């Protein structure tokens, strides 16, 4: 097969920065910082705030609003009830804000889906969204986006990103479903009289604020057992914070939107989102992604849903079949069930089926490392692609010297646990231009698509930058079905 490398590149850009909270680690430092600002005369405050805005305001949108939010977050450290001027509040807020270059280290592990808006394009041209793992200071990863088009010849054109990046706001009014939440607690083994007491006074739909209020009231009423129940309360709040909604500015360019770590499970990053355009049985369409949340020690599979790439719903995946990394949802139900690829044991590909999108209980082995270039492990490179002859699954295989290559398998349309074809040789392996980076000798993808008879593969190069390759789909399917 003749795989065409487009040489279209997406490199990390350390000039793309967002603002985020700055949290001093020492307990007394906020008090000291605020005290020093409070000692400044009014004219000095005005002058210093002017300098901050002259240096940073042009680099961000809604910066003053964020300064005000940051002041409110630390207001309890102010040792006076005297009203403060707007300038002093904003200046204090600026001391608890920092810039973060979200892709200063790497921009990789891409996933491609077709854009929900295909208007205004010439015949034969299709618009796509590619999600990317952006890694910055402290090796913290987030999910960024770019858009582009591909024409009938396979030529790819990327839209130029704007100069702004803004983290989304968490939707405070997000509601939780009580029966589903209790089921998730049971899956985690959090079953106790404390749970029954807390949820007895909560309705079938509740907010995080209502949950925290119920926890506080129960703790006050049962003071003798407060220390015993504190770990349970913390676990309940952690589960709630791992299930949340975020919203970007709908007027923003998609390149300005980023899914940044929010919950305690994500403190060290959001990794390897695998997006898929999912079509329900009634024909409705929405976009889903699995990703890995990392808190510095534990990897937690998470699920992401959106209809418009403006508002995103984040939730935990649950059940005994949820383990390890690299899960990828099929683009539709099969025989009424949701189906997902997984790699629970770290080296083999499995398939899971469930009637509930967020609960997975069973798995079946699909394929194991077989060829020398995949002897270490095999996993998926994104959601399966439906073709007339089977589900096309791009795979990654790890071989000698921890070299990653991209291969392919073909699964039965009716029973995706059955392998009907498998490449003996890699489809894509790193060339000399691609083997140098943060993690050398790696090509990797989190999701491909088909356009006008071509398989379009976005792929990362050694965990540093991203490029695209194309190959005729007919050639791939012919090789997979050659027997």
CATH number of domain containing 367: 2.115.10.20
How many other β-carbons are positioned within 10 Å of the β-carbon of residue 388? Answer: 6
Last residue of a domain, one of 44, 72, 101: 101
263 and 355 together in one domain = yes
User: Per residue in 309-328, pLDDT tens?
Assistant: 999 999 999 888 888 788 99
158 and 120 together in one domain = yes
Per the CB < 8 A criterion, the answer to whether 448 and 381 are in contact is yes
pLDDT at residue 294, rounded to an integer: 87
- Mean predicted confidence (pLDDT) in 391-417: 98
Give the count of domains, the chain.
3
Range of the domain at 344: 4-12+102-168+248-480
Last residue of a domain, one of 101, 125, 145: 101
264 and 356 together in one domain = yes
Mean pLDDT of the chain: 94
Last residue of a domain, one of 241, 257, 288: 241
- Mean predicted confidence (pLDDT) in 169-190: 86
pLDDT band at 228 (very low <50, low <70, confident <90, very high): confident
**Does pLDDT of 433 surpass 70?**
yes
308 and 344 together in one domain = yes
- Mean predicted confidence (pLDDT) in 16-28: 91
Please state, for a pLDDT cut of 70, what percent of the chain lies above it. 100
pLDDT at residue 264, rounded to an integer: 85
Cα–Cα distance between 126 and 114 in angstroms, integer?
A: 8
321 and 206 together in one domain = no
414 and 433 together in one domain = yes
Going by DSSP bridges, is the β-strand pair 443-444/338-342 parallel, antiparallel, or unpaired?
A: unpaired
pLDDT at residue 483, rounded to an integer: 64
pLDDT at residue 448, rounded to an integer: 98
290 and 409 together in one domain = yes
119 and 193 together in one domain = no
pLDDT band at 245 (very low <50, low <70, confident <90, very high): very high
153 and 277 together in one domain = yes
301 and 230 together in one domain = no
pLDDT at residue 319, rounded to an integer: 86
74 and 161 together in one domain = no
Cα–Cα distance between 144 and 9 in angstroms, integer?
A: 15
460 and 376 together in one domain = yes
- Mean predicted confidence (pLDDT) in 275-290: 96
């Amino acid at each position: 097969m003749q795989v065409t490398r487009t040489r279209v590149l997406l490199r990390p850009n350390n000039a793309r920065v967002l603002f985020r909270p700055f949290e001093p680690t020492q307990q007394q430092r906020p008090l000291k910082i605020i005290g020093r600002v409070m000692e400044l005369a009014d004219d000095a405050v005005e002058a210093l705030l002017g300098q901050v805005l002259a240096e940073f305001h042009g680099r961000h949108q809604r910066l003053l609003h964020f300064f005000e939010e940051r002041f409110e977050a630390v207001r309890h450290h102010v040792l006076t009830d005297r009203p403060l001027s707007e300038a002093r509040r904003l200046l204090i807020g600026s001391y608890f804000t920092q810039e973060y270059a979200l892709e200063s280290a790497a921009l990789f592990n891409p996933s491609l889906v077709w854009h929900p808006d295909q208007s205004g394009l010439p015949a034969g041209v299709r618009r796509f969204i590619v999600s990317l793992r952006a890694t910055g200071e402290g090796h913290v990863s987030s999910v960024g986006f770019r858009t582009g088009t591909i024409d009938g010849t396979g030529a790819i054109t990327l839209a130029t990103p704007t100069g702004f990046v803004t983290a989304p706001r968490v939707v405070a009014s997000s509601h939780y479903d009580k029966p589903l939440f209790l089921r998730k607690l049971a899956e985690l083994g959090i079953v106790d009289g404390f749970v029954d007491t807390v949820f007895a006074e909560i309705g079938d739909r509740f907010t995080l604020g209502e949950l925290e209020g119920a926890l506080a009231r129960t703790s006050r009423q049962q003071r003798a057992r407060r220390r015993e129940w504190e770990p349970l309360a913390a676990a309940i709040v952690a589960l709630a914070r791992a299930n949340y909604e975020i919203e970007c500015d709908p007027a923003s360019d998609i390149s300005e939107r980023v899914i940044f770590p929010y919950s305690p499970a994500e403190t060290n990053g959001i990794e390897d989102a695998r997006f898929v355009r999912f079509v329900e049985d009634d024909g409705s369409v929405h976009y889903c992604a699995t990703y890995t949340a990392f808190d510095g020690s534990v990897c937690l599979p998470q699920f992401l849903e959106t209809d418009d790439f403006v508002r995103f719903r984040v939730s935990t995946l649950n059940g005994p079949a949820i383990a390890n990394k690299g899960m990828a949802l099929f683009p539709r139900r099969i025989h009424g069930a949701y189906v997902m690829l997984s790699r629970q044991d770290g080296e083999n590909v499995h398939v899971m089926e469930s009637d509930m999108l967020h609960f997975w209980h069973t798995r079946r082995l699909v394929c194991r490392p077989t060829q020398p270039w995949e002897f270490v492990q095999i996993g998926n490179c994104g959601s399966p692609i439906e073709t007339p002859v089977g589900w096309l699954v791009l795979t990654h295989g790890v071989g000698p010297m921890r070299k990653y290559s991209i291969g392919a398998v073909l699964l039965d349309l009716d029973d995706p646990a059955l392998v009907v074809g498998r490449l003996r040789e890699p489809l894509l392996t790193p060339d000399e231009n691609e083997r140098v980076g943060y993690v050398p000798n790696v090509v990797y993808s989190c999701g491909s698509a088909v356009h006008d008879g071509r398989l379009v593969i976005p792929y990362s190069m050694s965990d540093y930058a991203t490029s695209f390759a194309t190959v005729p789909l007919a050639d791939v399917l012919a090789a997979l079905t050659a027997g």
